[in-house]
Amino acid sequence: MAIMSRRALLAQTAGVAAAGALGLPHIARSAATTAVVWQTQGFVPEEDAAFRSLVADYEKASGNKLDYSIMPFLAQGQKTVSALTSGEVPDLISFDAPETIVPQNAWEDRLLDVSDVVETQKATLSPTALLCSRFYNNAKRERSFYLCPYKMASVPFHVWGDLVERAGAKLSDAPDSWDKFFDFFKPMQAPLRKRIRKIYALGLQLTTVGPNDGNGLFYAFLAANGGTDIVTEDGKLHADDPRIREAVIKSIAYMTDAYKQGYVPPEALSWSDADDNNGFHEKAFVMDFDGTISTELAMIHDKQAYYHDMVTLGLPKDNAGHPMPAQVGAGGGFIPKGAKAVPVAKEFMVYLMQPKVMNTYLKNGLARWLPAIPALAKDDPFWLDPSDPHRGPYVRQCLFGQTYPSYNAYNPANGQVNAEQLWGQALAAVIKGGDSPETAADKALKRAVEIYAKYPIAQS
């Protein structure tokens, strides 16, 4: 398992700073050309405004035009899959969760190699961002870069601090280990229900419909129980490792026990990725574990909620008392084969990945996404500004802590594992079907082995 350590990262960021990470952007003008670009809609309006500003700046600098469409995440994902299947493709797809699409299509040789673009910032990019961008091409029997990474995200905790206080507790007393951290919130449910009729301690996404949050939650539990290397950088699944099996069983047992004990909303089994956000905003539960700080940014104009009531927290230690790595995803752009304006698509990505441009763009988007160049967060006071209660913990977890990439980067088989919601189905098998955690774990691991068998990766 390739895990980026804090020491290695700080050494890298120091080198970048010395090299001038915030240098002025430059782009060479050429004959004007138009490229078609699909962009994921932001969770807050400022993200879309930041993209429009970025495009305007690029067009002014280059003389080229970008015919762009900003579309909701699910719609863009569906349209992208259809386009890649049919061959009627845009020139560039900039996507928030490329790990759900790019690994499979890189495997099937449907994407262009963008190593030349990545190379322009390779020395400055987070090693985890690079791992998130390098995929196996089964036709060529080798790995290469098929994603131009420019932003990163991980999953922090979101807590209603005011609810913790109303329950008679202090958040500063929360234990610094995974299961005990969750346990800390359970006793708050009873006293809060004396004032709020329908409230739960935990917003666990035990969903069977996903697509992303439930998988992210399960992998965090897996890491907390010592199962981080269920899939390794060589693309191998280690389902036959007794230590991995035990981590899966412990994860299933804790999550299903919390549900059966009544600490999780009953409807969590059918939550979409937005439902836990909505439930948190409605104060239907005290704490949540969910990707990015979109949860907080959605209420940034409610000063009491944003600056006083809500709290963002990084990861506690794992259940063995060791520092716990955060799984990180990289957002970025990829170019389908059949694109007609490849030079412009690549040029735009080169432009965007320049440190100054990347930094400005993501700041204007209110920092829901973090720069794929960690030195930017070290050098620009904005990223760790203590006046913002949420950005600092998120930055430290994602950019300065131990991290590892989505398993989909190692093998596209894991994309199918996630799409089939194997882990959510295992949870449901215990909750609704009466399986033991051991039986549910063995069924899920057996199916994962069957899926991975379809994606053999040659070792160099």
Q: What is the pLDDT of residues 1-15, one digit of tens each?
A: 555 443 443 344 333
Other C-beta atoms closer than 10 Å to the C-beta of 319 total 20
pLDDT of residue 2: 57
pLDDT of residue 15: 39
Task: With residue 441 as reference, give the H or E element that holds it.
Answer: helix 437-452
pLDDT of residue 22: 32
Give this prediction's pTM.
Answer: 0.92
Q: Residue 164: phi, psi to the nearest 5?
A: -60, -45
**Burial profile 360-381: b = 16 or more Cβ within 10 angstroms, e = fewer:** bbbbbbbbbbbbbbbbbbbbbe
Closest CA to 136 of 447, 405, 408, 449: 408
- 344 close to 24: Cβ distance less than 8 angstroms: no
- 287 close to 157: Cβ distance less than 8 angstroms: yes
DSSP string, 283-336: TSEEEEE-SSSHHHHTTTT-HHIIIIIEEEE---B-TTSSPPPEEEEEEEEE-B
| Spans of the chain below 70 pLDDT | 1-32, 460
pLDDT of residue 210: 76
Alpha-carbon radius of gyration of the chain: 22
3-class SS of residue 224: helix
Other C-beta atoms closer than 10 Å to the C-beta of 447 total 17
Other C-beta atoms closer than 10 Å to the C-beta of 284 total 18
pLDDT of residue 123: 98
pLDDT of residue 19: 36
Burial category of 265 from C-beta neighbours within 10 Å (exposed 0-12, middle 13-18, buried 19 and up):
buried
Distance, CA of 136 to CA of 128 (rounded, Å): 16
Reading the block at residue 40, the tokens are: 């994921």
Which DSSP category does 384 fall into? G
Distance, CA of 285 to CA of 206 (rounded, Å): 14
pLDDT of residue 197: 87
Which domains, from first to last, does the chain contain?
6-154+328-404 (3.40.190.10), 157-313+420-452 (3.40.190.10)
Reading the block at residue 386, the tokens are: 């203590």
Closest CA to 313 of 321, 322, 304, 324: 324
